[in-house]
A and B are shown apart, each in its own frame.
Chain A
Amino acid sequence: MSGSEGTAVITAKALTKRFGDFEAVKGTDFEVRAGEAFGFLGPNGAGKSSTMRMIGAVSPVTSGELRIFGLDPADDGRKIRARLGVVPQQDELDEFLTVKDNLVIYGRYFDIPLKACREKAMELLEFVQLADRADSKVQPLSGGMKRRVTIARSLMSDPEILLLDEPTTGLDPQARHVLWDRLYRLKQQGVTLVLTTHYMDEAEQLCDRLVVMDQGEIAAEGSPAELIRTHSPREVLELRFPAGTNAEHAPKVEGVGARQEVLPDRILIYADDGEAALSEVHRRQAVPESALVRRSTLEDVFLRLTGRTLVE
């Protein structure tokens, strides 16, 4: 295979998850290679978490094939979990224990000797910059700190693959940047990262490759740059007209760019040259309240592929 650096550590073929009548994952195919950062981008309910739980060997596959390290989670769940680190969507920290003991006991679940657990816990708390909170209970920590404790906890067993389900949802911008930095360092150390997100900036920051998921299906696959190149012109002109007049202005600016999207609050015009498009809008005497030219992002790719925005 051209361009595949590492060997495949996760492969899915026609992977399907059904809950009663509801099909959460509808026959997806994907492959994650050793050492890369792989993302599932999609809105809530796209099937990202269901996919992650199947990879984490805590949710049985309904049909299709899933292999993690070449092992089938139906037969070798314990062996697979022993080699994974999991950062669940909710932190699930033990509120009855201190920060450090949370890490120590988690290491014990992997049969790591107690002394090694204690040393490793302090080392990891240094890594996530929380060594000074080692003896604090979990409850008073901020959301960003709890997230970092959870990441430290997931690293107790030196996992080969780290599964992160929405690692920065609900965190403030500063906390997100601290977290991204730590995850980037892990990747440099050779840990394979698999993450879900509904933030395009997160996907662009962290992922080498990603799949865009929508309603249980994979809509597109590639590197962030490739996806933008393939599915969206280089620039976007965002026009805001007075509230409620978007529909009325839409025909006026029709054809200014390669494509346009009329959203409730703004009109997006996709063009390779955003400034030129703006001049054309002015020439047609459509007067927006504000106008902004920006680069295309994965959000635009998502909108193009599914006709919907990522975060409603």
Chain B
Amino acid sequence: MELLNNHRPPITAGLIPPSLRDARRPHRVLERHWFVSRSGFFWILLGGFFEPFFYLVSTQLGFGSLIDDVEVGGELVSYVHFVAPALLAASAMNGAMYETMNVFFRMTFDKTYSSMLATPMTAGDVVLGDVFWATIRGGLYSAAFLVVMAVLGMTSSWWGLLLLPASLLVSFAFAGVGMAIATFIRSIEDFEYVPTAMLPMFLFSATFFPASSYGRFEWVLNFSPLYHGVALLRALNLGQFPPSIFTHVVVLFALAGLSIVLSAHRIERALLG
């Protein structure tokens, strides 16, 4: 750590835009969204929760019983216990990603950011505020999802409580990624690409079948951001702490950090020309 501290600051000082270093008011963005959402918007939030929820129920009632136990970290677990934390990760991702797609509208038609940037707020405030807001939305999905998991008996032990902060981290990472993607969207048509990228990631992140079944292509999984969330939540649900979870945590934080820096650059370029 000493080594890192000695060498990093000059590099990051150049990398982190001044607008992020000057960010003091990201919570004002949350406040604005709260002003908007307190009147009925809450129900829209629930929409993204139902999708994985139905997967969960169908797994429990349906094909879960047709599939044999799966080995996770040397431990045999039922398929339901295998797949539920993966769906939780997907739920955290969906909640955060859906929310950040609003960023496009706030940048363009709604002019939300333009009016914020005329005040002491900076592009960094805008980015951090919206990433935190999307993280909260993803976190809300996850919390509700976790309750359903517990009620259906899909959590393995009290270790399951760790799933909440861990799924917040997954939300945070995808809030960053979603924000960065939204700054590249040029028109409403471009939104088509987002689910096109998200669906294969959802299906092929060791979500429904174990990493070992990818055979010699197992290493490819590391390039799927969702995989790191899935693997992290799956291990924690079983109370397992293999060294690899450290990697997953670092990757998720790095994704969030890089995305935030990129988003701040993009917003500045688009709105502060």
Contact string, A274-297, partner B, CB cutoff 8 A, digits 1/0? 000000000000000000000000
Q: Is B215 part of the binding interface, using a Cβ–Cβ cutoff of 8 Å?
A: no
With A78-B22, A101-B35 known as contacts, the answer to whether A94 contacts B112 (CB < 8 A) is yes
A279 vs B120: C-alpha distance in the bound complex, in angstroms?
61
Q: How many residues of A sit at the interface, in one of the four size bands?
A: 20 to 34
B25 at the interface (CB under 8 A from A): yes
Chain A residues contacting B114 (CB-CB under 8 Å) are: 88, 92
A127 within 8 A of B: no
Q: Which residues of A contact B51 (CB under 8 A)?
A: none
Kindly state the separation between the CA atoms of A82 and B120 in the bound complex, as whole angstroms.
5
Given known pairs A94-B112, A96-B36, the reply for A88 and B31 (CB within 8 Å) is: no
The answer to whether the Cβ of A60 comes within 8 Å of any Cβ in the partner chain is yes
Q: Which residues of B contact A43 (CB under 8 A)?
A: none
* Closest Cβ–Cβ distance, residue B82 to chain A (whole Å): 41
A94 nearest in chain B by CB position: B112
Q: Which of B36, B110, B111, B121 is close to A109, meaning CB atoms less than 8 Å apart?
A: B121
Residues of chain A within 8 A (CB-CB) of B122 are 77-78
In whole angstroms, what is the CA distance A58 to B122 when docked?
9
Determine whether the beta carbon of B273 is less than 8 Å from that of A81. no
Asked whether any CB of chain A lies closer than 8 Å to the CB of B16, the reply is no
- Answer yes or no: A128 CB below 8 A from chain B CBs: no
In the docked arrangement, what's the CA distance between A109 and B121, Å?
7
* A108 interface residue (CB < 8 Å to B): yes
1/0 per position for B99-140, CB-CB distance to A under 8 A? 000000000001110111111111000000000000000000
Cross-interface CB contact of B28 among A81, A90, A109, cutoff 8 Å: A109
Q: How far is the CA of A108 from the CA of B115 in the complex (A)?
A: 12
Q: Given B25, B36, B116, which contacts A111 in the complex, CB threshold below 8 Å?
A: B25
A106 within 8 A of B: yes
A-B interface contact total, Cβ < 8 Å = 63
**With A94-B32, A101-B35 in contact, do A106 and B120 touch (Cβ < 8 Å)?**
no
With A and B bound together, what is the CA distance between A106 and B112 in angstroms? 11
A59 lies within 8 A of chain B by Cβ:
yes
Determine whether the beta carbon of B25 is less than 8 Å from that of A88: no
Q: Roughly how many angstroms separate A260 CA and B120 CA in the complex, as a whole number?
A: 50
Q: Does B1 contact A (CB under 8 A)?
A: no
Q: How far is the CB of A75 from chain B (nearest CB, A)?
A: 10
Q: Which residue of B lies closest to A78 (CB)?
A: B120
Asked if A109 and B273 make an inter-chain contact with CB atoms under 8 angstroms apart, the answer reads: no
Bitwise, A106-127 to B at CB < 8 A (1) or not (0) is 1011110000000000000000
Q: How far is the CA of A111 from the CA of B118 in the complex (A)?
A: 14
The reply to whether B31 and A86 form a contact with Cβ atoms under 8 Å apart is: no
B272 within 8 A of A: yes
Per the 8 Å Cβ criterion, residues 84-105 of A in contact with B are 84, 86, 88, 90, 92-97, 101, 104-105
Given contacts A19-B273, A95-B110, contact A110 B120 (CB under 8 A): yes
Which 8 pairs show the lowest CB-CB distances between chains A and B?
A: A109-B119, A92-B111, A86-B118, A96-B36, A92-B115, A82-B120, A78-B120, A105-B32
A contacts, CB < 8 Å to B: 19, 56, 58-60, 77-79, 81-82, 84, 86, 88, 90, 92-97, 101, 104-106, 108-111, 157
Can you report 12 residue pairs joining A to B where beta carbons are below 8 Å apart? A56-B118, A58-B118, A77-B122, A78-B22, A78-B122, A81-B119, A81-B120, A94-B32, A105-B31, A108-B32, A110-B119, A110-B120
B-side interface residues toward A, CB under 8 Å?
22, 24-25, 28, 31-32, 35-36, 110-112, 114-122, 271-273
